[in-house]
Structure formats: structure tokens, C-alpha cells
Chain A
Amino acid sequence: MCKKTAAIILTAGLLALTGCGDSEKVIDGNIENVTTGSRSEEPTGEMESSQAPEQQAETAVSKGYVFEAGAVTVGVDADMAPVLQALGDPASYFEAASCAFEGLDKIYTYSSFEIDTYPQQDRDLVSAIILKDDSVTTAEGICIGDSLEKLQETYGDGVQENGMLVYEKDGMKLCFILQDDNIISIEYRSTAL
């Protein structure tokens, strides 16, 4: 191989290796950015500052099944900031730094439900909504304690996944855990994590 050919190959190789940064997320010093691209559907969560908090929260709703806490609609992968503004202070708040990475997973606990978030750049997006008791229902009217029959009448058959009955819609999952054919747990989950 002559030197000229080798130089061309080397140059082409280096250009090929360094020139396609846009096609794939970067693993930089903070390799949290490693991703399969599944978060690319994240909502923008951007809104006009003149909107009322309730309106802002609804604007932030992204996709799939949503939870309605009074007038506030919450969806997974939505920006938490307007939701928090609309719902007000939680009964308790906990934040967990992930091992090694920057950013905090946050848990906002209200009287009958919990909202978990994950960091995404400078925002916190909803990773899960967990209904804690039968005083709250899904937007479709299902609550803890309801029967399997009522659940399937409302949502259809669903898919069995790790012991849960799961309804997937637009890149999110609504998960039910049943015991003796009665619902004991309801969770809205992001599939972006």
C-alpha cells in the first residue's frame, strides 16, 4: 500500500468516525446521555407564560393515557413544572440522586397519588404516576378495588407483562396489578426510561 493511499484511507476513516455525530447521541463525560433514542418523542413542554397554571399543565400533557387530578391533567413524559404549579405543594417530597449521574429523580406525594420524575436536560419529566387509594380514578373511571371484569370492559383485554395487566398507548404504559381479580395497584409509566 503506498503512503498516499494510506493517507487517503486514514483521512476518510477519521472523517467517517467523527462526522456522523448527529445520527446518534453522544456519550460524553456525563454518559447519562447514552440513549437508544426512545426519548426522542418527548414533549416540548413549552408554553406561554401568560397561561393559567391549569391550562399550562394540560398543555404539558403528552400522549397516551392520562391522569386527571381535579382540573389538572397529568401525562407521563410531560414537563413537571407546570403540573407542580397547578397542583401546588405535595404532602411530601423526596429526591434521589441516581448513582453516579447528575440530576435527580424526584417523587412528589399527594394525598392519593404520587408523581415521579426523571431529569432531562434542564427539565423534570414525569416518569410515573401512581394511584395510592380508591379516592382517585383513571380518566376512564377505574380505581383501586375495581374488578378485573370492570377493568377489561373499560380498557379491553390488555397484555400480561411481569405479572401486571398492561395497556400500552402512544409510547406509555398503564399498568394494573391484581390480586384475586381485584385491582391493588395502578401506575402510569413512561417507556422512555
Chain B
Amino acid sequence: MGTAVIVLASLYLLQRLLMPKYAADVVEGALIAEYYGEEKDHDVVFIGDCEVYENFSPAVLWQDYGINSYIRGSAQQLIWQSYYLLKDTLRYEKPQVVIFNVLAMQYNEPQREAYNRMTLEGMRWSRDKADAIRASMTEEEHFLDYVFPLLRYHSRWSELGAEDVEYMFHSPQISHNGYYMRVDVKPAENVPEGRILADYRFGENAWAYLDRITALCRENDIRLILVKAPSLYPYWYDQWEEQIEGYAAENDLLYINFLELVEETGLDFTTDTYDAGLHLNLSGAEKITGYLGEVLRQEAGLKDRRAEEHLARVWDGKIEAYEQEKERQYANTALDDSK
């Protein structure tokens, strides 16, 4: 008995050591897991790909509107992953509003293992996680590799670094309520137009999961809002826009396409993006979140909770961390510019 415990403990430690830590590189892989350390009392939960976690700032929603929100976003989050993440979220809390970014509708099938793992490994084990894995696996992947990541990561042995030891049992905080901050600037130039597609219709699987998200929100009396973040690339086709507008109208959903609100939000793609239009930087994210906050207040009737003592105290700490990160990044950017 004692020997079995030693064997299992050794394998567990080995697995902890060999799994990617997402602490210094590819930090976006840490986002999904961070949610579980939060107090679960959010008014708004975002789900979706990088277009949510890089373009919306929950700190602005709190500071300007008293709305408590969290972004359950991850890199190339596929729509079935968004659905299961929403189900997973509902195990802990029931937000008043769920916001889903519709770019993920472009994918109808599983894509890449690397992205799958960045979303799925951070989820706590539950039936929803198991279902998410099954829905996401490419042909080359195996369910057992998710149950026992050691099977997949054993060959990282030769790649181990100091961070693998340092972060074996805890991870540094990467996000601000799921928001991944970047303050640097790279203006959008020469953004290519979309390629001609053979078929502009979203796939059946993608539609099926959008239906499931809509139904899940309805069953739980949650207001679902669809958004298209103002990222200029990947290209958002007119034909895609028409389909989403049609779906939103049919299902009585609010749909906000921020690409069409550049003037209203005050976005300036010479200063408000850090990667030439793919994602917004802090300045851009704060602008469109300001607009979104007004919509949430007026259209969804969300109340200002800044007078709630406990929540205000929690947010005081978050805002302090947010401001410190902002200062640190601006200082680094200034340093880089001076070189």
C-alpha cells in the first residue's frame, strides 16, 4: 500500500514538473484556470477567443459602471469550448449577462491540439470538461492524454527550465479578470482583404453550438449578447455579418458589431492596437469597453454595484494591480522606445 502511494506520488510530481506552466511564455494558456480562484458573483461573463480577452477590460466596467464582470476567454477558443465553459461557469454562478464573440463561428471542426490544450487543461475536471475534450480533439489526439497529461508531456524532459520548478504548484496571475493587458502600439497598416471563400455559410456544427449557447442562456434566464470585436484581421466577411444579424433577429438577441462602431467608440487604429489591427491595446480596449458598459447599463439594466462594500474592497485590490501593471508596461514601452 505504502509503495503504491509512493509510486503514484512520484508520477504526480513528475506530471506537475513536466506540464507547461504558461508563466513566462504563451501566458494565455493560464487564463482559463485563473477563473477558479475568483469570487463567483459576476454580473457579466464573456466567453470566446482572443477577441474577448484582449479587447474588453472588466476594470473599466467596474470603475465606470459598477459592473462586476469576468472574461472566460482563451486563444482560438472554439464555439463548443465556449459552450462547455459556459456550462462549467454555471456550476459556480449565474451571471445576468453572457457575452459571446462570434468570430469563432468560422470554425466548424477541431483545429489544433496546441490551442485545445490552452483552453481545456485549465478547466477543472467535470463532465463539462470531459465533453469539451471529446468535442475538441483532433484525429491525432487521445482522451487519455488529457486525463494523464504526463503521457503527452513526458518528452518535455529535455526542455525543462527554472520556471517549471518555480511554478510547479502555483502560477503567477496573468490576467485582470480574464483581460490580457498590452499597452504597446503598432498601427494597423496594409490589412489584407479576405480571401475568396468557396462557401460563406457557417458550418452546421458551429450553428448547433450557438443554438445550445442560446438555449442554455434562455433556460437560466441569462441575457445573451453577441458581439464582434473590432479586430481588423482575420477578415470579417459581409456574408458572415448577414448570417449573425439574421440569427440575432430570429432569436431576439442583441448583437453589437464593434467594427461598425469605430466612430462612436472613438477607436483609432493608428494608436489603439498593439499588433496592427488584430487586437486592441489597453487604450483601445478601454474605449470599446466604455461603450459596452453604457449598453449594459441601458439595454440590460445592470445596476451599479460600487456601493457594495465587500465587492468594492475586492475591486480596490484588482484596480491597484491593474494600475501597477499599466505603469510597469508603459515604463517598459518607454524604455524600448528610448533604445
Contact partner of A94 among B4, B7, B24, B276, CB < 8 A? B276
A138 sits at the interface (CB 8 A)? no
Closest to B201 in A: A163
**Interface range on chain B: under 10, 10 to 19, 20 to 34, or 35 or more?**
35 or more
| CB-based contact A93/B156 at 8 Å | no
Name the distance in Å between A29's Cβ and chain B's nearest Cβ: 4
Give the tally of cross-chain contacts (CB within 8 A): 124
Which residues of chain A (81-106) have a CB below 8 Å from chain B? Answer: 92-97, 99-102
- Given A96-B278, A97-B278, decide whether A130 and B195 contact each other with a Cβ distance below 8 A: yes
Name the distance in Å between B229's Cβ and chain A's nearest Cβ: 12
| CB-based contact A26/B155 at 8 Å | yes
B298 sits at the interface (CB 8 A)? no
| CB-based contact B117/A31 at 8 Å | yes
Name the distance in Å between B12's Cβ and chain A's nearest Cβ: 12
Contact partner of B152 among A13, A14, A27, A114, CB < 8 A? A27
Which of A27, A32, A92 neighbours the largest number of chain B CB atoms within 10 Å of its CB? A27
0 or 1 for each of B154-166: is its CB under 8 Å from A? (1 = yes): 1111110101100
Which of A3, A17, A21, A130 neighbours the largest number of chain B CB atoms within 10 Å of its CB? A17
B132 sits at the interface (CB 8 A)? no
**Interface range on chain A: under 10, 10 to 19, 20 to 34, or 35 or more?**
35 or more
Contact partner of B190 among A9, A13, A92, CB < 8 A? A92
Residues on A with C-beta less than 8 A from B191 are 94
A120 sits at the interface (CB 8 A)? no
A77 sits at the interface (CB 8 A)? no
- Given A3-B3, A17-B150, A21-B158, decide whether A163 and B29 contact each other with a Cβ distance below 8 A: no
Residues of B participating in the A interface, judged by any CB pair closer than 8 Å: 3-4, 6-7, 10-11, 14, 20-22, 24-29, 49-50, 75-76, 112-115, 117-118, 138, 140, 150-159, 161, 163-164, 189-192, 195-199, 233, 275-276, 278
For the complex of A and B, 10 pairs with smallest distance between CB atoms: A163-B198, A21-B155, A6-B3, A99-B75, A28-B159, A100-B75, A185-B196, A17-B154, A92-B190, A100-B28
- Having A18-B157, A31-B114, one finds 15 other A-B pairs with CB under 8 Å, namely A10-B10, A17-B154, A20-B155, A25-B155, A29-B25, A31-B118, A34-B113, A94-B189, A97-B275, A97-B278, A100-B118, A102-B25, A107-B192, A184-B196, A185-B195
